[in-house]
Amino acid sequence: MCKLFGVMKSSYYYGLKPKPISLETVKTKALICQIFNDSNRSAGARSIVVILMNEHNIKLSRYMVGKLMAQMRLKSCQLKTHKYKHADEAHKTHNNILNRNFSPSAPNEVWTGDVTYIRIKGGWCYLAVVLDLYARRIVGFAVSDSPDSVLTAKALQMAYNSRLKPNGVLFHSDQGTHYTSARFAESVASCEGMIQSMSRSGNCWDNAPTERFFRSFKTEWMPKGGYENIAKAKSAIVDYIWGYYQTVRPHSFNDYLTPLAKEKRYFNQNLLSGVLN
C-alpha cells in the first residue's frame, strides 16, 4: 500500500505512533481561551499576543496564537460600526484649538468628548464620554435616554471631580448642540481654567481618538442586537470601561500598554524624578 501511494514506510509507522501531549500547549490554550472569553469574545490574535506577554510573560508570535485559536475554533466577533448623525442646530461654537494634536505630554492637558447611540429594545439610549488623550483613558461618562446637554455636562463633571479638579484643561468636542448649548457652557465655566475647542463642521477626523473608542466598544463588546434596556446597557458599559478597556485591553497608541498602565508609568517616573532632583 505504501508503494502504491508513494508513502515512505517510516512516515507511515511514524503516523501510527501516539503523539505526546504537551502540558505547556494545554496551559497556553487555556490562557488564550480565558483571555478570549474575558474580552467578550472580541479579542483577536494581536491583542491576545500582547496580553499573554504583559500579564503572563509568555512570548508567542501572532501566527502561533492564530493557529491555536483556530484549533479551538475561537473567532473574534466584531461588528460593523455606524455613523452618528449630529443635529443641524448650533448655539455657540469655538475654534479648533486642538488641531489634531492628539499626543499631549501629560495627563489632564487635553480631554475630548463625544456622544454615541446604543441600541436597546424598542429604541436607543446614548453614551457620552470624556477621554484623556495622554493615555486614551476614559475619565468620565454618562448614559441617558436623550442626547442632550444634561448628558454631556454630567460626563464632564464626573471627569472633573474624578481627576481632582485639574486647572487649565483643554476640552475638545464636535459641534453637536449638546456641546454648543448654554447649559454645557455653564458646566465648562465651573471647571477652573477649562478652555473649549471644537472640530470643524462635519469633520469626524478632528476628534478621531474618541470616535475610535466608540468603535472599539461597539465592535468588541456590544451584542449585535443591542441590549434589553438602558439598565443592561449601562451595566455593560461600566464592565467594558472599568473591567476591560482601562485595565486589560492593550492600546496601540500606548505601545500596547493599557491606559491605566501608561498613566501609572508616567506618575511613577515623575515621582522618581522629583525624588532624585
CA R_g for the chain = 24
Q: What is the largest CA-CA distance in the chain?
A: 87
Q: What's this model's pTM, rounded to 2 decimal places?
A: 0.72
- The C-alpha atoms of residue 29 and residue 252 are separated, in whole angstroms, by 24
Full pLDDT tens readout for the chain, 277 residues = 878 878 788 777 777 776 676 788 888 888 899 998 888 888 888 889 999 988 888 898 988 888 889 888 888 876 544 444 444 444 789 999 999 999 999 999 999 999 999 999 888 999 999 999 999 999 999 999 999 999 999 999 999 999 999 999 999 999 999 999 999 999 999 999 999 999 998 788 899 999 999 999 999 999 988 999 999 999 999 999 999 999 999 999 999 999 999 999 999 988 766 555 5
Edge-to-edge, what's the strand order for the sheet holding 110-120? 137-144, 123-132, 110-120, 170-173, 195-198
